[in-house]
Amino acid sequence: MHSKDSRLGRRRSLRPAAVVALILLCAVAGGLTWFLTQSSQPAQTARAPARPPVPVSVASAEMKDVPIFLTGLGTVQATFTVGIHSQIDGKLQDVLFSEGQRVKKGDLLAKIDPRLFQAALDQAKAKKAQDEATLAGLEKDLARFKTLGTRGFETQQNIDQQQAKVDTSRAAIVADEAAIETAQTQLDYTEIRAPSDGRMGVRMVDPGNVVRASDSGSIAVLVQAQPAIVLFTLPADTLDDVRAAMARESAEVQAYDRNNRLLLSTGRLATIDNLIDQATASYRLKATFANEDERLWPGQFVNARLLVDTRKNAITVPNAAIQRGPDGPFVWVVSEKKTAVARSITMGPTVAAVTIVDSGIDHGEQVITGGQYKLSDNAPVSIGAGGRQHAAGEP
């Protein structure tokens, strides 16, 4: 009995010690865990990956002479546009040109039946011959009258009457000559000739039809497009620049196609219109082009570029590099550390694929032209898989 109680007492005395030991063991384990966690944080921080560079395209800011152009929409016109008409009434006998044919001044284009006009000419010539014969007889009679008058066998009155007949006959011959000239002109009109060099258009009247001088329609249209003329318009606020360019020298004008990509021809500014259209606040200009290859076609729409100035030693960047923000235009510049830096700029004119930068960029600096939407200040950049380096004027 006594041994049993002693064993029970010993068990009861061991319980608090076990609890205390368990508590101490948990505390030690917790402290060790906290220590290991705190000691591993700097290593984890050191091992955090750096921000990857942004792939971009770049270009170098270039210093060069930049021509400044003003562009306006224009239309090509021929130097001469002539409707080929008949100047007399008659049947169109022959058409001697081909549609689209180039002709020279004086070339025979068409013929009208000449028989009636030839007959009228022959009749006028016959009338003149008749009147000349009559005049010859009257002049002989007048000579006899004068001879008889000197001998006293003829009165002065009869001599004067005979003189009047001779004068009348002479006047009739002058009228005959006028009639012959008229008939000859009418006969000449039966041959329709080219009034100038040029190219024939589509034939509108076929042989066999009767044509009249009063017809509103033409047989065909002849145009001379060498040289060619381009009429175009510019805004009124450019007038001073254009006048200054024209005063310096003959201003160059370039004609481009409707897409403003293909150069068709180069010419010179001929004149500036003498008034400004108040409805559109614009004015017209006229340029001439040699057009030897006939790339300018009458009626064609073109973009006319007028050279008004040339900026010497201007700093240029591609248009794609220009960004716009709340504080105005800026560009992303690649720093020496290969990071992107936003740089405010003062813009000049935009010419084709480049923009002139008046201030903010130096010659040779690299500006970012692609991939800007991923950039922030001091972001690392790379010219690699996502971008390439090209010249400032290259698209």
Distance CA(97)–CA(221), nearest Å, equals 12
Distance CA(369)–CA(263), nearest Å, equals 27
C-alpha dihedral, 333 to 336 to 339 to 344, nearest 10°: -30
The predicted model gives 304-322 an average pLDDT of 91
What are the DSSP E strand ranges found in 118-235?
191-193, 198-200, 210-211, 220-235
Fold held by 70-77+225-312? Elongation Factor Tu (Ef-tu); domain 3 (2.40.30)
Angle at 208 between CA 205 and CA 210, to 5 degrees: 70
Token couple for 216: 């509103």
Distance CA(198)–CA(191), nearest Å, equals 18
Distance CA(387)–CA(54), nearest Å, equals 9
Q: What pLDDT does 21 receive?
A: 59
| Burial class of 28 by CB neighbour count within 10 A (0 to 12, 13 to 18, 19+) | exposed
Taken as a whole, the chain contains a residue count of: 395
pLDDT digits (tens, 9 = 90+) for 145-198: 888 888 888 788 888 888 898 899 999 999 999 999 999 999 999 999 999 999
Q: What pLDDT does 118 receive?
A: 95
Give the DSSP per-residue string, 112-148: E--HHHHHHHHHHHHHHHHHHHHHHHHHHHHHHHHHH
Helix, strand, or coil (residue 70)? strand
pLDDT digits (tens, 9 = 90+) for 330-366: 999 998 888 989 999 999 888 878 899 999 889 989 9
The predicted model gives 222-249 an average pLDDT of 91
Q: How confident is the model at residue 30 (pLDDT cuts 50, 70, 90)?
A: low
Domain 57-67+313-390 grouped into CATH 2.40.420.20: yes
Cβ pair 333, 366 in contact under 8 A: yes
pLDDT digits (tens, 9 = 90+) for 49-71: 567 888 998 999 999 998 888 99
Its pTM surpasses 0.75: no
Q: What are phi and psi of 208, to 5 degrees?
A: 100, -20
pLDDT digits (tens, 9 = 90+) for 93-120: 999 999 999 999 999 999 999 999 999 9
Q: What pLDDT does 63 receive?
A: 92
At position 279, the amino acid (one-letter code) is: A
